[in-house]
Every structure is written in C-alpha cells, then in structure tokens.
Amino acid sequence: MKEIKITTSFQAFESTDELPKDVAELMTKAVEARKNAYAPYSHFRVGVAIALDNGKIVIGSNQENAAYPSGLCAERVAVFHAGATYPDAKILKMAISAASDTNPTTSPIPPCGACRQSIAEYEIRQDSPIEIYFMGETGGVFKSDSLKNLLPFTFDKNFL
C-alpha cells in the first residue's frame, strides 16, 4: 500500500475590501442575489454571481421546494442558467455568499458536494479553471483558483 497526499491552497481575504475591484463587484451581486433566495424551509440563503468571458454576469439564488430534494442550490441555478443562456461562453469567476436567517454566518461557506460536481462539469468542459470566491454573510472570503481545489477527485465523462 502507498499513501497519496493531496494538498490544496486557498487565498484568504479578511474582508471584501481586500478583493480586487471586479471580484468585489461580483460578490456584491452575489449578496444581492442571495436576497432573492426562496428558502422557507432551511432559512439558509445563498446567492451566486458568475462572470463569463463574454462580459456577461449571471446570477442565481437557491430555490427550495417542500418536496425535498426538488429544489436547487444557488450555484447550480447560476451555472445551469449560464450554460443555457450562453452555451459558448466560459465561466471565469464565481462569487458565492451564504447567510442563515437563524445563525450568523461569519466564515466562508463553500459549495455543497452536488454543486461542486456540477461546477466541475463546466470546468472540465471548458478546459480552463474557474476561480471560486466564497464567504458567509460577513467576514472573510476564500478564493480557490480552480474547482479542483474543492474536489480533487472529480467524476467526469472519462469514467463513463
């Protein structure tokens, strides 16, 4: 048996004030999108803003449903919207902001596993990394240079 070590690295910003201007603007759009979340069950609201290589910004927010798991996370709403509306555009950057109606969220909150897999599909398809910035309601922001930092063993079409 041999041991395999995988290391990842992230950049940590203490606040949105430290972000590059374009990323800070993208995060502001994610925070605004978060306000449109439909979260009557979890009371957990997520907003996403995606910057495409064609200059367009696509947003998404989580949309819940009483018939779990019929709802969709904000990341998948935004990524699928980008793919459906701009199928030839590449996703450059993604900003994610999450907040709870019941508990303060002050640390960065990454995408769930299902969203990581969906983002991976687009990163693999476009053959270029997607920068992912994520935060809670307030506080610091983490930056991943690629989805591969969040999901080092991706399941993709090569396994099918």
CA–CA distance, 90 with 88 (Å, rounded to integer): 7
Q: Residue 68 annotated as binding?
A: yes
Q: Residue 114 annotated as binding?
A: no
CA diameter of the chain = 50
Q: Residue 25 annotated as binding?
A: no
Q: Which of 14, 25, 75, 137 is catalytic?
A: 75
Q: How many CB atoms are closer than 10 A to CB 38?
A: 13
Q: Residue 62 annotated as binding?
A: yes
Q: Residue 115 annotated as binding?
A: yes
Q: Are strands 91-100 and 131-135 parallel, antiparallel or unpaired?
A: parallel
Q: Residue 66 annotated as binding?
A: yes
Q: Which residue has the tokens 């991706």?
A: 154
Integer angstrom CA distances of residue 97 from 1, 5, 64, 116, 120: 41, 30, 17, 15, 19
- Catalytic site residue 18? no
Q: Residue 112 annotated as binding?
A: yes
Sequence ranges of the binding site for Zn(2+): 73, 112, 115
Sequence ranges of the binding site: 62-68, 73, 112, 115
Catalytic residue numbers, as ranges: 75
Sequence ranges of the binding site for substrate: 62-68
